[in-house]
């Protein structure tokens, strides 16, 4: 049993990474082998629209033809029992590295048939963890709720099952006094980080447990 997590944050020891580590901790508690990949450590780009993955009788049909640091990771995913993606929300979307990863992860398996078909060899669990400045009451106004549903929908179509969790109003800096950030109340952020963030991490842990148990 193997569960992989992918950190789409440039920070390796902050909110997103902490929640992914908790998710993997949950999977490990059920006996799963786990691995955390920091996308910002890899040299890769998003889909280049070459369509080699969709060329009839092509040697790369159903797989990405690009060769870079992501290539062996994508191969490894085909032998993994569950994957968990994690990213901060930047300007209403996941980070650039996570977006590029999602393009490379999903598009080769999407067969242009009617209805669309998935070429991924089996069904696995997938999850997405989002961290953000946005307060929970503002998710709908910003369209985040629909964005989450959209991402889940694509993952479900290709891999079989998906769920997502999010953490709002996360702690941005270690020292707010050193950063221009007057729109935020550092005391309230610290209080939320102390009182609410551990509960969000527990949700991530529980996701990891579920994924390992459902293999």
Domain boundaries, the chain: 2-213
- Residue 215: per-residue pLDDT: 66
> Is the predicted pLDDT of residue 119 greater than 90, yes or no?
yes
* Angstrom distance (rounded) from CA 28 to CA 20: 12
- Using pLDDT thresholds of 50, 70 and 90, give the confidence band for residue 152: very high
How much is the average pLDDT of 166-179?
Answer: 91
Mean pLDDT, all residues of the chain:
95
> Is the predicted pLDDT of residue 182 greater than 70, yes or no?
yes
Q: What is the pLDDT of residues 86-114, one digit of tens each?
A: 999 999 999 999 999 999 999 999 999 99
Residues of 35-63 as b/e, b for ≥16 C-beta within 10 angstroms?
Answer: ebbbbeebebebbeeeebbbeeeeeeeeb
> Is the predicted pLDDT of residue 172 greater than 80, yes or no?
yes
DSSP for 119-156 reads --SS-EEEEEEEE-SS-GGGTTTTTHHHHHHHHHHHHH
- Residue 33: per-residue pLDDT: 96
Q: Structure tokens of 173?
A: 């800096």
| pTM given for the model | 0.94
φ, ψ of residue 77 to 5 degrees: the values are -60, -35
Q: What is the pLDDT of residues 13-27, one digit of tens each?
A: 999 999 999 999 999
- Residue 11: per-residue pLDDT: 95
Q: Does domain 2-213 have CATH number 3.40.50.360?
A: yes
Q: Structure tokens of 41?
A: 């450590």
- Residue 173: per-residue pLDDT: 87
């Amino acid at each position: 049993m193997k569960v992989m997590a992918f950190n789409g944050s440039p920070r390796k020891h902050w909110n997103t990474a902490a929640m992914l580590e908790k998710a993997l901790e949950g999977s490990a508690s059920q006996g799963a082998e786990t691995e955390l990949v920091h996308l910002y450590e890899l040299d890769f780009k998003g889909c280049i629209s070459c369509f080699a993955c969709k060329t009839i009788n092509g040697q790369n049909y159903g797989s990405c033809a690009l060769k870079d640091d992501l290539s062996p990771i994508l191969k490894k995913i085909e032998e993994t029992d569950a994957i968990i993606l994690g990213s901060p929300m930047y300007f209403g979307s996941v980070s650039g590295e996570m977006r590029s990863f999602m393009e490379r992860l999903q598009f080769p398996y999407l067969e242009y048939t009617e209805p669309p078909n998935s070429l991924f060899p089996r069904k696995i669990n997938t999850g997405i963890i989002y961290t953000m400045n946005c307060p929970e009451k503002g998710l709908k106004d910003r369209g985040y709720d629909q964005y989450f549903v959209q991402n889940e929908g694509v993952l479900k179509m290709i891999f079989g099952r998906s769920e997502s969790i999010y953490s709002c109003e996360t702690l941005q800096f270690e020292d707010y006094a050193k950063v221009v950030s007057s729109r935020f109340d550092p005391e309230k952020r610290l209080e939320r980080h102390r009182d609410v963030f551990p509960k969000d991490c527990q949700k991530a842990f529980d996701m990891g447990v579920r994924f390992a148990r459902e293999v």
